[in-house]
Amino acid sequence: MRAHSSLLAAALLLGGAARAAPPGDALRIGLPDSIYVTLSDPAGLDRDLDGLKDEHENRLADAWRPYFIFDENENLGEKCHGAVTGVETVIDTACVVAGCAAAAGFGCLIESVRTTVEEACKVTHDIVSPVCKDNVGDVSLQPFEPVVLFQVRPLDGSASWPRRILVKWGFLFRLDGGFRASVYCTNYHYGDTQGGTYHLISSDGVEWTLAELNLWSSGWEQAGSPRTSWTKPRSTFREEMPERPSPIVFASAGKHHQYISGEACESESGIGGCDDDCGGGAERLANLAPNGTFNNVGEPGAHPADAGVNQPFVNDLAPLGYPDESVWQARWRCKCEQVLFDDKEGECFTGGTGAAWSASTTQRCDVVTPVHKLFEPGDPAAPAKEVGLLFTLIPTCYE
């Protein structure tokens, strides 16, 4: 879809959503109390030991969760790209006509002769179809996708103010469907991981401002930048926080490359006709709690889940739609056969298809990033805990 029409569709489907950056108060939000745990707080408030109260982590992620606009051709149900299919049809037709003309004067009037000729001409299918490799015949956006995971952690261990918090995002898809708008760029593969980052800043741990976002191929943007697009204010998951708008991500057809606007996507020319296509398709607000609890991945060094599967932190991706996959451990190694380059092999995310991933590696591609590489490894730089509301009973002696 071209840029002007994608923007029109977005405006209509979002019900008159604000296209420009929201006012400053929409980029600020207050927590019930400070997100930082103190020495007097119960240990259960910070189960992943990053110095932040877990429930407040969820609240901040929920405040400005992303909004996705996909392309109208995202799940194109045709077997091959239109141009390739057309070439194949022309070649097949020419073959059948020539075959009938050579059929000993009978032409194709006799049904058995026509059937024999058509079967013989199907060899062109085997020649032409590998160009598109059927990569648009599979669904690259399932109803529950993208599966959205997040991680919240302190960005530095300074005791001074202001302080910053990092929100890392992981967007997962079962299939990278190749460039839907391209005839040649059909390097689809199972497993697709995308991501993003927010920087939040506070002077007291209670009031937080969304300062910067890195959700798009253009890199970091100030949250108040006129380049960013936002939805109208909407409710949070538990309705514990005031309504806030969501930043909009334009995801390209098949590849799920992330753009800041329809124009940015449509104006980018790819190499060899590998152009992205954005807008006019499905629209989805990131679902941070599809199973009733937040998709917070916590910290790799302290990742308790003793309250049940993926509670309070997510690791097993099977309940989210990807069997035999996990956040903090890559259970598969994938090998990609490169053209003119050495083969690539490494741990990967297969989208839940497991060993079937190898069926999609017939073209040059990259090993799919494992989920854990979307998030921050190692120990978080949490500031030293303050005393907090600690009361000490001092015994008094009476004569």
Nearest to 256 by CA among 140, 169, 137: 140
Q: Is 148 exposed, middle or buried (0-12, 13-18, 19+ CB in 10 A)?
A: buried
Residue 136 has φ and ψ, to the nearest 5°, of -100, 5
Angstrom distances, CA of residue 68 to CA of 9, 85, 131, 216, 299:
13, 31, 30, 12, 26
Is there a contact between 81 and 182 (Cβ–Cβ < 8 Å)?
yes
Is there a contact between 260 and 268 (Cβ–Cβ < 8 Å)?
no
Is there a contact between 222 and 211 (Cβ–Cβ < 8 Å)?
yes
Where do the structural domains in the chain lie, given as residue ranges? 3-79+132-374, 82-130
- Pairwise CA distance, residues 17 & 159, whole Å: 40
User: What are the pLDDT tens digits along the chain (399 aa)?
Assistant: 433 333 333 333 444 445 677 888 999 999 999 999 999 999 899 999 999 999 999 999 999 999 999 999 888 755 454 555 555 566 677 777 777 777 766 667 777 777 777 777 766 555 555 555 555 567 889 999 999 999 999 998 888 999 999 999 999 999 988 887 666 676 788 999 999 999 999 999 999 999 999 999 999 999 999 999 999 999 988 787 899 999 999 999 889 999 999 888 877 666 656 778 888 999 999 999 999 999 999 999 998 888 888 999 999 999 999 999 999 999 999 887 766 666 788 999 999 999 888 777 655 667 899 999 999 998 898 899 988 876 544 444 444
**Phi/psi-derived region of residue 321, left when phi > 0, alpha when psi is between -120 and 50, beta in every other case:** left
**CB neighbours of 314 closer than 8 A, spacing ≥ 6?**
149, 295, 296, 297, 298, 320, 327
Q: How many CA atoms are closer than 13 Å to the CA of 358, on its beta-carbon side?
A: 7
- Residue 98: strand, helix, or coil: helix
Beta bridge partners of residue 201, listed in sequence order: 164, 209
What the block records as the tokens of 14 is 């979002």
Across 262-277, b (16+ Cβ under 10 Å) vs e yields bbbbbebeeeeebbbb
Strand ranges (DSSP E) for the chain?
28-30, 67-71, 147-154, 163-176, 189-202, 207-214, 221-222, 248-251, 258-259, 280-285, 332-336, 344-348
* Residue showing tokens 């590849």: 255
